[in-house]
Structure 1
Amino acid sequence: MSVHRNARCRGPYGGEGDQADGTDCSDPAVFEIVRYGLPPLPVCPVHLGPALLMASGVLWPPEIRLIGRV
């Protein structure tokens, strides 16, 4: 888990590059959501639920990994 210790939240939408709107959360990521055809999405506890509903390419049922601790 120490590899991701500096990861920042990219929730709730998980945009990449020019489409990074809504990813201004500066909290540390605690979870990583696996996505189809996209890199895993690191999110904080606050954005976990919204990211499952709104982020692109989220698998269903979702696959969530713990990458850090609060």
Structure 2
Amino acid sequence: MSFQRRLSILSLAFSALAATPAVPQVPPHVPGQICYTPSFWCWANPAGLPGDPCVCIDPQSNRAVQGTLN
């Protein structure tokens, strides 16, 4: 196998790995205490059932962002 072919395969594999979505790191918690939004998470107040809708306040814009309890 030529060097260019190996480099192409390696490049393709790396780009596939890099395209996987990032998973936020959250501390250990009881299910229903974390509210996940598309770009960040917050502690749910009040906690609820996993899968229920929730709201976090975006610290940069100070606006409410819809999320899902986890």
TM-score (normalised: structure 2): 0.25
User: Which protein is richer in strand relative to its size?
Assistant: 2
Q: TM-score, normalised by structure 1?
A: 0.25
RCO comparison, higher one (Cα < 8 Å, 6+): 1
Rg comparison, structure with higher value: 2
